[in-house]
Amino acid sequence: MVFEFKHNGNLESWLHPEGNDPIGLKTLKLMQRINIAIDVASALEYLHHHGQDPIIHCDLKPSNILLDDDMTALVSDFGLARFINTSSTSSTSSFGIKGTIGYIAPECGMTNKVSTHGDVYSYGILLMELFTGKRPTDGAFKEGLTLRTFVSDGFSEGVMNTMDERLLANGVQAGDHSQTINHAKTFECVSLVLKIGLQCTNDLPSERMEITRVRNELNRIKNIFFER
């Protein structure tokens, strides 16, 4: 398969730039992160609900999210994707665990069952990584601490200790608007987004937020904080 070259690379390279990149060269503003989150949720919604049969991506992670010239996010790499029968919401794989460690839903690791719920879990992890700047496999996560518990605990300790500190560097610009969002509004916005990430990563698949609702909620947050 041949893909169109994307000059802005993938989301992984923006969230975790290599050490030889100039400081600040790759920094995603708050508005850009919100838009990326909405783009990916919209892509998942299409895969899950608007095709002839639902498609499960099975490997949603930053390195599989490409960014085009205007920073629109595109979901790529369908090497592990599965069609599921319309009479079912899940499919069993005979090829072992599908996905990448850190992004795989608990039930997928234990039963090899893949489902739209599993994609939502992976999306929730990606969403938390997008706004904390931390991989789910970060070396700091040990002895029971995970990206999810790190985010959850952050609500009692203050979300400013959880979010990606680069969001506060040099002010936070509202995308194409010249208006600067103050830090209190930034904390409030990130808090709302991280709560969605937590709801997407509940241990029980039935308790996870459905992807259409995720997209709607993110659009609501965008309208509150960025639309005139």
Q: What is the pLDDT of residues 76-106, one digit of tens each?
A: 998 899 988 755 555 555 445 568 999 999 9
Model confidence at 176, pLDDT cuts 50, 70, 90, reads: very low
pLDDT tens digits, residue range 120-145? Answer: 999 999 999 999 999 999 988 988 89
Supply the pTM of this predicted model: 0.88
State the residue for tokens 């923006």.
14
What does the domain layout of the chain look like in residue ranges? 11-226
Please give the positions annotated as active site: 59
Which CATH entry fits the domain spanning 11-226: 1.10.510.10, 3.40.80.10, 3.30.360.10, 3.40.50.1370? 1.10.510.10
For residue 147, CA distances in Å to 46, 163, 211, 217 come to 27, 12, 20, 22
Kindly give the residue spans of alpha helices, DSSP state H, lying in the chain: 11-15, 30-49, 106-111, 116-132, 147-157, 183-200, 211-226
* pLDDT score recorded for residue 86: 57
Give dist(CA 199, CA 191) in Å, integer: 12
How does pLDDT run across 192-221, given as a tens digit for each residue? 999 999 999 999 999 999 999 999 999 999
Q: Which three-class secondary structure state does DSSP give residue 146?
A: coil
